[in-house]
Amino acid sequence: MTEEQRPVQWLENERVLEGQVSSYERQMFPEGITKTARDFHQQIPGYKMSPLKNLPRLASRLGLGGIWVKDESNRLRLGSFKVLGGSFAIYQAIRERLGMMDRELTYEELTSPEIRAKLGDIVFAAATDGNHGRGVAWSATQLGFRSIIYVHKLTSAARIEAIQKNGAKVVVIDGTYDDAVHQVNVDAKCNGWQVIADTAWEGYEDIPRWVIQGYSTMLAETQEQLAAQGLIRPTHLFVQAGVGSLAAATIGYYTNLFGSERPTTVVVEPDRAACLYHSAEVGDGAPHNFEGNLDTIMAGLACGDPNPIAWDLLKETTDYFVKSPDYVAAKGMRVYGVPLAGDPFIVSGESGAVTLGVLMFIMQLPELVPLREKLGLGPDSQVLLVNSEGNTDPDDFRRVVWEGGSSVPKQYRHFHSGLGPAPQI
């Protein structure tokens, strides 16, 4: 088995701040911003907390105290957490245009004829692998604005159709996600569109920061739900990354809340699009491009350029970076979909399931004992995962779950004959 095919390649972060709080975390999460985001989201028609699901049987089988999954598979019926960031960034951009950053606007005000007349005809634009663009399109439509979404050539027809159904015009770029990001920015300048991007570049940082802050609603919900179970905080965070915005939101939120007592943090990427891992490996503190065609089933994580403002936070608050092949995500999808008896059923897409796959391999493979020990994973561990998407690409979902696509190589298959309850069918 070649190195590239190993289920978990890991890197301990030498730049992490031990017992200190990152200055980037304070910039990302100023006082009161989580409340502002959540107050806005709670006014959106159809808003409700997404479930926090407990997998006690699987946790027991793996030798863990608990596995908690924040299930975003049906957030506002859009199949992903991404709408939280896109909608909040649009809200903040509107406040800025109106010169009303000194006060919050109600959803009723946002949709009023008076506000609409002051704003004029705005076109919101974004580049996407699917979920971010769908969230931006939906949010713009809800507020009565047009949207245009750029996607790369490998984007599935199902993802494109989902964006179009939410009111957007879709433009397909002959290139990667990063090429789509570049092109939408060029065209937006020519056409006067407002770009709502989940990654930053020089001179464009406020909106990507608002996107990250918008995700904090999900994490504030999670803390309420954990508290209801008698848990102060998770001991470990495993969070997936594309450009790094979700990871920065999750780790930044918990660092902001608990400081030096934050959970142990692990950032997980596809091995064919591991821009954060690569940046940590280079080790000079700067974000670095990951070259290649980014061809992975984890479409939402297929990004070659890190979000620089996310990287600034992650380089000081991430304990370990991990990269994994597609079969690890596929295993996670199947385990979520066929749970042990007594554990809940979870619909998880390719990008949503990779952290569960990584956690299982870490707990089961003898060669990963050193990582397991460094992480301190054991019977007292309460691990938090985010199922960031549901079945957002039905054809590929069926290929993996129905047909056994992206199967685990034989030497990495792990069965516990006679141990624990049988899978729930």
The helix/strand/coil state of 149 is strand
Q: Are 125 and 90 in contact (CB under 8 A)?
A: no
The helix/strand/coil state of 12 is strand
> 385's torsion region: left (phi>0), alpha (psi -120 to 50) or beta?
beta
Residue 269 neighbours by CB distance under 10 Å: 27
Measure the CA–CA gap between 145 and 124, rounded to whole angstroms: 7
Measure the CA–CA gap between 319 and 276, rounded to whole angstroms: 13
Closest to 291 in 3D by CA, of 409, 392, 192, 179: 179
321's tokens: 């970076």
Strands 123-128 and 382-387: what pairing? Answer: unpaired
Measure the CA–CA gap between 310 and 287, rounded to whole angstroms: 10
Strand order in the sheet with 169-173: 169-173, 146-152, 123-128, 194-195
- Non-local CB neighbours of 355 within 8 Å, separated by 6+ positions: 238, 239, 240, 266, 268, 332, 385, 386
Q: Are 222 and 70 in contact (CB under 8 A)?
A: yes
Measure the CA–CA gap between 134 and 222, rounded to whole angstroms: 23
Name residue 319's amino acid: D
Residue 20 neighbours by CB distance under 10 Å: 12
Q: Would you call 326 a catalytic residue per the annotation? A: no
- Which of 53, 70, 71, 129 is an active site residue? 129
Q: Would you call 179 a catalytic residue per the annotation? A: no
Residue listed under structure tokens 């508290």: 227
- Which of 53, 70, 82, 323 is an active site residue? 82
What's the DSSP call for residue 44?
Answer: S
Q: Are 418 and 272 in contact (CB under 8 A)?
A: no
Question: Mind telling me the catalytic residues?
Answer: 82, 129
